[in-house]
Amino acid sequence: MKRREFIKKTGASGLLAGSLISAAPAVHAGTKIKWKMVTTWPKNFPGLGTGANNLARLITEMSGGRLRVKVYGAKELVPAFEVFDAVSRGTAQMGHGAAYYWKGKVPAAQFFAAVPFGMNAQEMNAWLYYGGGEKLWQDLYQSFNIIPTAAGNTGVQMGGWFNKEINSVTDLKGLKMRIPGLGAEVLKRAGGTPVSLPGGEIYTSLQSGAIDATEWVGPYNDLAFGLYKAAKYYYYPGWHEPGSVLEALINKKAYAELPSDLQSIVMNACKIVNADMLAEYTARNNTALHTLVSKHKVQLRPFPDDVLKKLAQLSEVVVKEVAAKDKHAQKIYQSFYNFREQAMAWGKISEQAFLRAREL
């Protein structure tokens, strides 16, 4: 089978690969609008950076070129951790990143990226779209002139890369590890030293020994960064990121100036990318894990149960502290955990029961 045919038949290059507009002239006449999208990812980074590219392309194509979005990688226009401010100020009309990167400014934002032992991708989407989560998120960013929405999900991440085995909680003591969000605070309570680094700086930091361990995403992305060359043990599961939501940030003023059809295109393109990215991660993690283990001889290890139990206890404390910071955080926390409780009850007799049945 020729490559092009193969891609066509299997959809190997992803849902968004095919051009959605034909060669026909643009149906919609009118003003052409240009937007900038700043991102926290290295330009074109697999999954995350390409997800941002897909989002920009979809908006441009679905609008027949009336709204053109240009993507900037981290540091091209602003550094990774200044994406939020750039969109807030209107330096860029859009951003793509993850909400836990803004924890210094908006601690409750972390609920909308990843909560340790929180909810998986399917449950997060359910909460955001049908459980009131998205409304709480938008209220939280209101005063920053930003509209946030989900635009991607990695699924359950991996626990990370370590130079030594983790056999008990004491092995975490003194460990200098790159880990974002609430998971960072949990590691700190377990005696470790969390380090905040954007993706693009992880490999060299691990290689040079500036950090002892790191988490990043999962097999697909970790293979792309070559993390297996800098650490030997690859731990699972990603207790700290059970279904990380990637975030589209939209400048509120720029959005308000769009005609309603373009507004709809922007929001729906985010929804498409949200679903597409999870499918891509699921598919590519499968093959990348195989490559890591069989080709690069990575040592795959589960965290011991007592380590996970301890981390879960510490997580509960940490999350409650964030919730206690202000009224809005408390409201988000309540909503999140009420939803999680219901999701767990249903999950037990649906996904969990099925996964168990499949293994019998």
The footprint of Ca ion (CB under 5 A) covers 157, 215, 241
- CB of 82 or CB of 241, closer to Ca ion: 241
- CB of 68 or CB of 176, closer to Ca ion: 176
Least gap, CB of 51 to Ca ion (angstroms)? 15
- CB of 146 or CB of 245, closer to Ca ion: 245
Long-range contacts of 323-329, Cβ-Cβ distance < 8 Å, separation of 24 or more: 323/108, 325/107, 325/108, 326/108, 328/108, 328/136, 328/139, 328/140, 329/107, 329/108, 329/111
Least gap, CB of 79 to Ca ion (angstroms)? 19
Least gap, CB of 241 to Ca ion (angstroms)? 5
CA distance 132 to 93: 25
Helix or strand run (H / E) with residue 188 = helix 181-189
Least gap, CB of 289 to Ca ion (angstroms)? 16
Least gap, CB of 62 to Ca ion (angstroms)? 30
Amino acid symbol at 332: I
- CB of 67 or CB of 223, closer to Ca ion: 223
Q: Which two tokens stand for residue 229?
A: 């060359």
Return the closest-CA partner of residue 251 out of 134, 146, 353, 336. 146
- CB of 185 or CB of 215, closer to Ca ion: 215
Burial class, 360, CB count within 10 angstroms (exposed 0-12 / middle 13-18 / buried 19+): exposed
- CB of 68 or CB of 301, closer to Ca ion: 301
Least gap, CB of 202 to Ca ion (angstroms)? 10
- Sheet of 160-162: strand order equals 193-195, 176-178, 213-214, 160-162, 233-236, 299-302
